[in-house]
Amino acid sequence: MSRIAYVNGRYVQHADAAIHIEDRGFQFADGVYEVCEVRGGLIVDLTRHLDRLERSLGELRMRSPMSREALKIVIREVLRRNRVRNGLFYLQVTRGVARRDHFFPSEDTSPTITITAKSVDPTPMLRKYESGIKVITVPENRWDRVDIKTVGLLPNVLVKQQAKEAGAQDAVFIDTNGNVKEAASSNVWIVTREGVLVTRPAEHGILRGITRTTLLDVAAHLGVGFEEREFTVEEMIAAREVFLTSATGSCVPIVEVDGRPVANGHPGSVSAKLRGAFLDVAEKTTI
């Protein structure tokens, strides 16, 4: 089956999908994106993803390419045309095509929008849930506005590759006070020895993950106590459980940090319980 992408008003063959070389996304990473999970033919947390997209656009003073209702129609159409039942859609908006110049282009420049969708084989992720993953810690070296979901992900790409070359699967950014920020493409959580779920506040310095927000709802639903506060690397290593959340992986257990076993080297029961209840609590929208 051929893949279809949406590019600025047209559904095109994925292999032929292209944007101009002077697109500001390409020239300056002047764009924002969303990744949203699809499970069992249902879009997970669509409203929250579209809310965050609007916020990212607003923070960068970028125009939305279309109304929310129109966007929903196109997203569904891309998912349908690609027959995605389990997988994701990826949506990107940039400030559009303009002669290379650091200043914003003129007001009438149309934003660029692309949407792609793909089916994802769940097997590798299920394996991660069973065995857990290894991470390395790295000093935070990104800009100050990581709360905006921009396509400027070079530091994230570099640390993820560094993790791979070190025999790990992900990297966790640490701030100058030794506190855990977030991973290269997910938020970080611990379960303390006392059984309390802890994650860093999302007001500043991390992306407010949609999975993170919904997981807090899941914790409340299950009666699992939680705190939004900073925690150190030492606390993470001493924790009963450590795990990551993102739209592409719900709760992924961590069993090793910088070569040191955490959580006795095994995925814990709290993350499994939260993962199990996630879809019951999350918003689900039919395609």
Residues marked active site are found at 149
Phi and psi at residue 113, to the nearest 5°: -130, 130
**Least separation, in Å, of the C-beta of 184 and ligand PDD?**
6
Please select the residue that binds ligand PDD; options are 205, 209, 253, 268, rule is CB under 6 A: 209
Please select the residue that binds ligand PDD; options are 27, 187, 199, 271, rule is CB under 6 A: 187
| DSSP string for 111-174 | PEEEEEEEE--SHHHHHHHHH-EEEEEEE--S-S-TTS-BS--HHHHHHHHHHHHTT-SEEEEE
**Least separation, in Å, of the C-beta of 225 and ligand PDD?**
21
Nearest to 49 by CA among 12, 80, 90: 90
**Least separation, in Å, of the C-beta of 174 and ligand PDD?**
14
Task: Please list the residues that pair with 117 across neighbouring strands.
Answer: 89
| Strand residue runs (E) in 168-231 | 170-174, 180-183, 186-191, 197-199, 226-228
Is 236 or 247 the residue whose CB approaches ligand PDD more closely?
Answer: 247
Provide the mask over 220-249, with x wherever binding to ligand PDD is found by CB under 6 A and - wherever it is not: -------------------------xxxx-
Largest pairwise CA distance in the chain: 58
Residues 149 and 34 sit within 8 Å (Cβ to Cβ): yes
Is 30 or 182 the residue whose CB approaches ligand PDD more closely?
Answer: 182
Which residue carries 């990473």 as its tokens?
Answer: 29
Phi-psi map region of 83: left, alpha, beta (phi>0 left; psi -120 to 50 alpha): left
Residue 186 binds to ligand PDD (criterion: CB under 6 A)? yes
Please select the residue that binds ligand PDD; options are 24, 39, 134, 212, rule is CB under 6 A: 212
Residue 137 binds to ligand PDD (criterion: CB under 6 A)? no
Is 94 or 246 the residue whose CB approaches ligand PDD more closely?
Answer: 246
Is 8 or 248 the residue whose CB approaches ligand PDD more closely?
Answer: 248
Provide the mask over 26-65, with x wherever binding to ligand PDD is found by CB under 6 A and - wherever it is not: ---------x------------------------------
What whole-number distance in Å separates Cα of residue 180 and Cα of residue 188? 8
Q: In Å, what is the CA distance from 191 to each residue of 112, 141, 170, 213?
A: 42, 26, 19, 17
Residue 114 binds to ligand PDD (criterion: CB under 6 A)? no
Q: In Å, what is the CA distance from 190 to each residue of 56, 112, 198, 243?
A: 27, 39, 5, 6
Residue 182 binds to ligand PDD (criterion: CB under 6 A)? yes
Is 91 or 97 the residue whose CB approaches ligand PDD more closely?
Answer: 91
Is 35 or 66 the residue whose CB approaches ligand PDD more closely?
Answer: 35
Residue 170 binds to ligand PDD (criterion: CB under 6 A)? no
Residues that bind ligand PDD (CB under 6 A): 35, 156, 182, 185-187, 207, 209-212, 245-248
